[in-house]
Structures are given as structure tokens and as C-alpha cells.
Structure 1
Amino acid sequence: MAEHDNAKKVKKQVTPEGGFFNFFKGLVAEFKRITWPSKENLKKVTISVIAFCSIYVVIVGIIDFGFNSLAKSILK
């Protein structure tokens, strides 16, 4: 049965008009459809991401310091 399914597969043909240049034409068309955020919205989102990352770094640093101290006290 697997041999029968393989016989039905058709190879894709590469056409000269499709390909590299049409990819970039489609890319430009997709970029025109994008709704870009306003400057104020972008600033708010950027500040919130930086704040979240800073808080995350502090929390992970505290946990790392705790585990490091625990490992040193156990291995002494």
C-alpha cells in the first residue's frame, strides 16, 4: 500500500516567474499590510518589557545566590 501512495506523488516544477524575485514582491506586499504601533504605544510597551526583564534578572539572581550558598554549605 505504501508503494501505491508513493506513485501518486507529483514533483513540484520550478517555474522561472516564481521564485526569488516573486518572494520579495510578496514580502513588500505583506509589509504594506502591517499595522505599525504609534510611538506612544511603542514607548509604553518597551518600558514594560525592560521593567519585566529587570525584575526577572533580579529574581533569578537572588535564586542563584541562594542555591550557590546552599551548595557551598552542603559541600563544606
Structure 2
Amino acid sequence: MQRISEFFRGVVREMKKVSWPKKKELTSYTITVLTTIVFMAVFFAVIDLGISKLIRLILE
């Protein structure tokens, strides 16, 4: 039990050292991540569509 409580005390000490992002930074990071996800989804959808059409042309 002593080791578990010491572990959590260490976790609390380390979490106090963490530099948390401000609201403006967090908003900027969130927009960047969502934009990247949308771009990648559209990119792979277009690639998938192109490959599918190419395969259909080859097999017909």
C-alpha cells in the first residue's frame, strides 16, 4: 500500500510541473488537428476512388 501511495504522490508532483496550453493555443491546436484529419480523409477517399475505377477498367 505504501508503494501505491508514493506512486500517486509522485504523479501529483509531476503533474504540477506540466505546462498546460492556454485556451487560445488549445483552440489553435484543435483546429489544426481537425483540418489535417479532414484533408487526409478527403485525400484517401479520392485515392481509393481512383484505384477502384482503375481496377474496374482493368477487369472489364
- Give TM-score scaled by structure 2 length: 0.89
Report the count of equivalent residues.
60
CA RMSD of aligned residues (A): 1.2
Larger radius of gyration, structure 1 or 2?
1
Runs of 4+ in 1 over 6 A off after TM superposition: none
Question: 1 CA distance for matches of 2:12 and 2:55?
Answer: 55
Q: Which runs of 5+ in 2 are unaligned?
A: none
- Give TM-score scaled by structure 1 length: 0.72
Q: Which runs of 5+ in 1 are unaligned?
A: 1-15
**SS where residue 36 of structure 1 aligns?**
coil
When you count helix as a share of all residues, which structure comes out higher?
Answer: 2
Match status 1:59 vs 2:36:
no
